[in-house]
């Protein structure tokens, strides 16, 4: 199914409930989305009934999921599953819909080979930009074809430093030229009035998009992957979530 068909199905398809991820820290449902004879299994995170957090604005977490997909696409990468924010036609109210990745939950970041981990430089940079506060090992999945995916971006884009991740493999290493070019292109699209910035503004506050721009500028200036911040906890807990959603 091509991306335009996937988008159309997520945006306009009939949604039916299949089940709930009971071990997820936030209210997360598995649904089926059907349109024009096409059906997709989808993760649905309603804006309501999300666990209150002291540092994230209530009911914004699913919007952050959508902003993460937009950022990944803008950088030219494809490891965040297609995600939209939908207002109407959902059983528990507006929220995010993300394509479900069929995977073996026993396989995650800590089971990757050394060569597989070496491919995660774009993901590590993505988490730095998104200020990901919760990159657990179980949030990196391998599908049946061997492709690696990154999920669960509800705790991203805070205006203050929040980065907590298990992926510190590249700390201190120089950013490869391809990643620097991606950063430069992103910075241009974060300028006032640019379409990408306007689209992000539907899901993030102005303070959050300004902070994203500052992180981009700092990475361009430093040209290296940073080391963990010694002034606060830089690793999530637990390091793996079961099931990884």
Which tens digits make up the pLDDT trace of 189-228?
999 999 999 999 999 999 999 999 999 999 999 999 999 9
Which tens digits make up the pLDDT trace of 148-194?
999 999 999 999 999 999 999 999 999 999 999 999 999 999 999 99
Q: Is the pTM of this model over 0.85?
A: yes
Contact 213, 188 (CB under 8 A): no
**CATH topology assigned to domain 3-222:** Transferase(Phosphotransferase); domain 1 (1.10.510)
Which tens digits make up the pLDDT trace of 82-118?
999 999 999 999 999 999 999 999 999 999 999 999 9
Contact 179, 121 (CB under 8 A): yes
Q: Where are the alpha helices (DSSP H) in the chain?
A: 3-12, 61-74, 114-118, 121-130, 177-189, 195-200, 206-222
- Rounded Cα distance, 104 and 82, in Å: 19
Residue appearing with tokens 């449902």: 29
Beta carbons within 10 angstroms of residue 97's beta carbon? 27
């Amino acid at each position: 199914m091509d991306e335009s068909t996937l988008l159309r199905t997520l945006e306009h398809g009939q949604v039916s409930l299949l089940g709930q991820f009971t071990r997820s820290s936030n209210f997360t449902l598995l649904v089926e989305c059907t349109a024009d004879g096409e059906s997709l299994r989808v993760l649905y995170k309603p804006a309501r009934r999300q666990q209150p957090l002291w540092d994230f604005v209530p009911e914004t977490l699913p919007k952050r999921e959508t902003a993460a997909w937009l950022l990944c696409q803008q950088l030219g990468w494809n490891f965040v599953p297609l995600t939209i924010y939908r207002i109407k036609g959902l059983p528990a109210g507006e929220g995010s819909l993300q394509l479900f990745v069929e995977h073996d939950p026993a396989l995650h970041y800590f089971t990757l080979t050394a060569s597989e981990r070496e491919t995660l430089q774009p993901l590590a940079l993505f988490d730095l930009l998104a200020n990901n506060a919760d990159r657990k090992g179980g949030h990196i999945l391998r599908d049946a074809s061997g492709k690696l995916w990154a999920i669960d971006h509800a705790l991203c884009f805070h205006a203050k430093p929040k980065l907590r991740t298990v992926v510190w493999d590249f700390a201190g290493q120089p950013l490869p030229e391809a990643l620097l070019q991606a950063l430069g292109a992103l910075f241009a699209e974060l300028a006032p009035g640019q379409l990408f910035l306007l689209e992000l503004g539907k899901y993030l506050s102005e303070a959050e998009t300004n902070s994203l721009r500052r992180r981009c500028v700092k990475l361009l200036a430093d040209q290296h992957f940073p080391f963990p911040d010694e002034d606060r906890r830089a690793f999530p807990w637990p390091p793996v979530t079961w099931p990884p959603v």
